[in-house]
A and B are shown apart, each in its own frame.
Chain A
Amino acid sequence: MNTKSLSQEVKNLEKAQSFLDIVYSQFKENKAALFGAITILIFILIALLGPALEYVTGIDGDSQNVFSRYKPPFTRVTAPQDVRETAIKKFIEQNVAESAKIQTVLIEQKIVSPLRPEDALYDWVNLEKSKAITAMKQVDSTKKSELIKMMSSFETYHILGTDELGRDVLMRLIYGTRVSIGVGILVALVSALIGLIIGSIAGYYGGLIDTLLMRVTDALLSLPILPVLVVVAAIDLKKVLNGFVNLATTIMGDTGTRFAQDLVDHIFSGGKESIYKLVFILCLFSWMTVARLIRGSILSLREREFILAAKTLGATDFTIIVRHMFPNVIAPMLVSVTLGVGESILSEAALSYLGLGIQPPTPSWGNMLFNAQELIYQAPTLAFLPGLLILLIVISFNFLGDGLQDAIDPKTVKR
């Protein structure tokens, strides 16, 4: 070995490992945590690519079809002749001129040879799917994409079968991923923020504030969480928001009313109010563990010399807490947020499963189970798949959190 590479090696050994390097190298060795991280990444990717996947497969997750309910996995669903012809009749009625043009082209190109020329589109719609689509692609018309879309919806392949309304299960699972993981991550982040604020105020100021905040935290922690969530989730959002509008009126007068009313209308506009409500409720009851954790860390940090130094230099409380204390509590908080995501996903699924969480038609894994449990006999896969995904994602977050904990905790560092 030549001296140059040897000195290089010595130099590398002498260089201090940064905190992140240590954490990363520890984390890498934990196979389960790595598995968790990769699974989570795949799920997030699928969730983000939902619309793209919908475009590629040509299956609409929302399109219902009463003729093909409860199909088992790997079935090809073909629409019967009358359904096709009703659809094309509707199309012709809506676009009379355009369909006449398309019909002449179809006959000219000898794709169909109907007895009467005005039946050309009816003949086309009963052709085989691939043939019909290639033929239509050559037609020069503004409406051809609509027809192609119609054709592809007549013959669909359902890898995971269909549900009680004939919707594609795979597509609904993909869109459910967005809702479930989105709610889980959002709840974990927001409740971590609440916990951070409450925990640091209680820990830093101590005294009466601390006693008061921690009493509330303990009281909330000791409650049986699921019955509480059920009771709170059953409240009527409209009644609460009406109260909110009235409150805004009394405080700020007319501007308050307008502002509050706009906000309320916005919440109810997208059909997503059950998601907002659920996120709010879950946040309300999941900040306590983080608050306790942060309070504990801040209490011990408060006695450290660098805090005393900052105080002597005249730093404000805000600066001390945010600039000097938060960087020291980030690591344990990261672990607790990661574990919190899994927990939130479970709670969301439980509430949606009981019919109190996210309301259909918005799919979430929980409410897919709610619909499926009635039909265990006819379609067991329908009940099996969403739960399997919940298990997979929650276990991944738990593995990741556990791995992070081991990697961050200096007691377990093997050097």
Chain B
Amino acid sequence: MTTYILRRILQTLAVIAILSYICFSLMTLMPGDPVELMISANPRITQEDVARLRSFYGLDQPTYIRYYHWASEILSGDLGYSRTYRVPVSEMLAPALKATFVLSVVSLIFSLCIAIPLGIYCALKPNTKFDYIVNLFNFAGISIPSFWLGIVLIIIFSVYLNWLPAGGYQTTGIVYDNIFHEILDKSKFLILPVVSLAVQRIGFFSRFSRSSMLEAMRNDFIRTARAKGMSENTVVWRHGFRNALIPLITITAISISSVFSGALITETLFAYPGVGRLIYTSIMSNDFNVAMIAFIISIAMVLIMNLVADLLYGVADPRISYK
């Protein structure tokens, strides 16, 4: 078990290192490097100045040497500066990570709270009218483009009804009296992003929990439990649901990565200051330092989540052994 965990952690670290190198070389392929941006700001710059600037910043060296310099600085704790905002990257990253974490976790919990009861109810009464209708909605949920859903929600709730803010994180320039006031204000901004992020998850989880519950209820031990005269509640919850839970745990942990990735669009659409939006805006504005760190950190978080999922899997299902 310990060796398994150690090996997985090492593997994850290796993947992160490889990806950071790939990401670094991709960034060199993006339009415009820092010197080109300086040239556009100063039209009277001479060719010699350009060459000197390039060698001063080390841009004339091959990618792997630049990567080596960059990586050794990262490892010594210096994440660099944002070119656009003129603040250290570490200062920008912490609030963004927190915002994305809140958004992803709230929407994940929200979608699980709706999807699992729905899926189980459908599994217990399969092929009824209710089941068909839920199935239809599940398909719609899976197929709906989340950015479009977000736009439609904004049109309905912000433009026409004027109930909820169209975007942002908190009321501008507000000073909070107490923590409840803060939560109330921020949750108002969170409702639309959470819903638009959750709809796809709900469709997915609900379908999945329906099928895994159906599978679990088909087992022989369910028939045995019924034959022993156990109450239907005990059969469903103690015997059926616990077995249906095992695949659900994995799929939930794996889907954290897709919640994370879906958050990029939702955050951009609702101007919510999370990591996804940070990646997007920094790439669009050639802010390479920020883009790279934000990207690598979000990938690292996803990979660590996957690792946790694998370990949890073993806790939930003792039949699985680690080799």
Contacts and interface: CB of A to CB of B under 8 A. Distances in A.
Q: Are A and B subunits of one complex?
A: yes
Interface of A: 32, 219, 222-228, 230-232, 234-236, 238-240, 342, 346, 349-350, 353-355, 369, 372-373, 376-377, 380, 383-384, 386-388, 390-391, 394-395, 398-399, 402
A354 B268 contact: yes
Contacts of B144: 391, 394
A380 B148 CA distance: 12
Contacts of B257: 222-224
Nearest to B144: A391
A373 B295 CA distance: 26
A29 to B, nearest CB: 13
A231 B291 contact: yes
Contacts of B148: 369, 383, 386-388, 390-391
Contact of B280 (A219, A354, A373, A384): A354
A349 B279 contact: no
B224 interface: no
* Top 4 closest pairs, chain A to chain B, by CB: A387-B148, A224-B261, A226-B261, A395-B143
A383 B27 CA distance: 32
A407 to B, nearest CB: 17
Contact of A235 (B26, B264, B276): B26
A353 to B, nearest CB: 5
12 contacts: A227-B264, A231-B27, A231-B295, A239-B31, A354-B280, A355-B284, A380-B159, A384-B155, A387-B152, A390-B148, A395-B139, A398-B139
A402 B17 CA distance: 39
B30 interface: yes
Interface centre among B30, B145, B279, B284 (most CB of A within 10 A): B145
A350 B269 contact: no
A394 B145 contact: yes
Contacts of B154: 376
A231 B279 contact: yes
Nearest to A226: B261
Contacts of B139: 32, 395, 398-399, 402
B72 to A, nearest CB: 22
Contact of B265 (A226, A386, A402): A226
By size class, the interface of chain B is 35 or more
B147 interface: yes
A140 B302 CA distance: 72
Contacts of B268: 354
B93 interface: no
Contact of B306 (A222, A228, A350, A377): A222
Interface in B245-273: 257-258, 260-262, 264-265, 268-269
Contact of A227 (B18, B159, B261, B284): B261
A223 B284 CA distance: 21
A279 to B, nearest CB: 18
B143 A398 contact: yes
Given A236-B29, A236-B31, A398-B142, A227 B15 contact: no
A231 B26 contact: yes
Contacts of B26: 231-232, 235
Contacts of A230: 264, 279-280, 283
Contacts of B159: 376-377, 380
B303 interface: yes
B26 to A, nearest CB: 6
Nearest to A349: B145
A231 B283 contact: yes
Nearest to B280: A230
B222 interface: no
A397 to B, nearest CB: 8
A376 B143 contact: no
B164 to A, nearest CB: 14
A224 B299 contact: yes
Given A236-B30, A387-B152, A354 B265 contact: yes
Given A236-B29, A390-B148, A225 B261 contact: yes
B151 interface: yes
Contacts of B155: 376, 380, 383-384
Contacts of A350: 145, 147, 265
Contacts of B143: 342, 346, 391, 394-395, 398
Contact of A223 (B269, B280, B283, B299): B299
Given A342-B143, A387-B148, A222 B302 contact: yes
A395 B140 contact: yes
B59 interface: no
Contacts of B269: 373
Nearest to B149: A387
Interface in B152-189: 152, 154-155, 159
B209 to A, nearest CB: 17
Contact of B145 (A240, A373, A390): A390
